[in-house]
Amino acid sequence: MAFENFPELHTSKENESAENKDRNNIRGILTAILVVALLGTWGYIIWDKNNIKETIQQKDTIIAATSGQRDILQRELEDATMRYDMLKTSNSRKDSTITAKDREIDMKKARIQSLLSKINATEAELTEARALIGELNGDIEGYKNQVELLQGQKIQLVQEKVAVTQQRDKIQKAFDSSVKVIRDKESIIEIGSTLHASNFNIIGLQDKGKGKEKETTNAKKVDKLRITFDLDENLITATGTKELYIVITAPDGKTIAIDEMGSGRFMTREGDAKMYTQKLEVNYEQNKRQTISFDWKQTENFATGLYRIEVYNNGFKIGEGYRPLKKGGLFG
């Protein structure tokens, strides 16, 4: 029985040795797989890192190129803006065409600036900005041509204005000379046509009633002054209505003037305003002597003393007369 168990023990050891060998083989395979996987992972990490670095470098290159393009475009915009501002400064004249072009250029400048202000501007946006700058330069060139045209028209207008002004001044000078000659002639005619008064007769009258009058020199009894004078013949004075201003100076040296009785002011030949007592409008017939007579009756009593009566025509004094009024006798 003991000899029969030995072969079984030997067989068990062989089996155990085979199992251990299998385990070692599996462990080796797994280790190899892990090493391969680890190496693959490291390889992928290294490759991916290189790709990321290359991508970053490409992006940096693109950003640098984009930034450079943006800077170039920005300078072009600034140059165009400076030329445009200089044209606007030199153009003092505006019309509807220029005003419309101003608005169009300003809108285009604003769009270009908005594109160039983007930090991460795309190639498409930079392309649009570049195209707009080209259009802007064309607009500014057209604006310049329009300004030059307007300036040329302005110079022409200035020249025409100078010529017209010189012609106007020449005509005005000739006109002023003509006017002066006419005025001088009119002045001569006016002076020559001024009437002349003579043969003054001034009397004091007392109303006796029933239309009867009595001449008196007694100041207390005088109710009115009757003033009579002649307008002499004048060949120059035309037939028609003539204005005569009568100035009566009282003994106290003051002009008698009563608004309610038509008194007022007139201009003398020297340009002074002078008070008059009464204004007469007479129908004068050319080159004929004419007698004028009128009464001056005032509300107040006549004072004692010398009364002076002056007659004016065309601002000139054409004659004068006097009338003294006395105090009454013992019984007035």
- The CATH number linked to 301 is 2.60.40.10
Q: Give pLDDT, residue 185.
A: 57
Tell me, yes or no, whether 299 lies in a domain: yes
- pLDDT at 11 > cutoff 80: no
DSSP classification of residue 255:
B
Last residue of a domain, one of 73, 95, 123: 123
Residue at a domain's end among 94, 123, 152: 123
On whether both 110 and 219 belong to a single domain, the answer is no
Q: Are 282 and 242 in contact (CB under 8 A)?
A: yes
The DSSP call for residue 247 is E
Q: Does residue 25 belong to any structural domain of this protein? A: yes
DSSP string, 3-26: HHHHHHHHHHHHHHHHHHHHHHHH
- Mean pLDDT for 261-284 is 95
In a domain, 158, yes or no: no
Give the dihedral of Cα atoms 270, 276, 279, 282; nearest 10 deg: -50
Task: State the pLDDT at residue 152.
Answer: 76
201 plus 116 within the same structural domain: no
Number of domains in the chain: 2
Residues 203 and 304 in one domain: yes
Give the 3-state secondary structure of residue 225.
Answer: strand
Quick check: 133 and 112 in contact, CB under 8 A? Answer: yes
Indicate if 118 and 220 belong to the same structural domain: no
Are 119 and 29 found together in one domain?
yes
Asked whether residue 277 is assigned to any structural domain, the reply reads yes
Global pTM?
0.48
Based on the domain organization, do 116 and 208 belong to the same domain? Answer: no
Any domain includes 112: yes
Q: What percent of the chain has pLDDT over 70?
A: 80
Same domain flag for 16 and 103? yes
Q: Indicate the residue among 73, 107, 123 that finishes a domain.
A: 123
Which of 34-48, 57-71, 166-180, 277-291 is predicted with the least confidence, judged by mean pLDDT?
Answer: 57-71
Joined tokens for residue 315? 């601002």
For residue 251, pLDDT over 90 is answered with: yes
C-alpha to C-alpha distance for 206 and 119, rounded to whole angstroms: 117
Shared domain check, 217 and 318? yes
Q: Angle 257-261-265 (CA atoms, 0-180°, nearest 5)?
A: 45
Examine residue 317 and state whether it is found in any structural domain, yes or no: yes
Find the mean pLDDT for residues 167-186. 72
Q: How many CB atoms lie within 10 A of CB 58?
A: 10
The span from the CA of 262 to the CA of 277, in Å, is 7
Domain that holds residue 77: 2-123
pLDDT band per the 50, 70, 90 thresholds, residue 292:
very high
Residue type for 188, please?
A: I
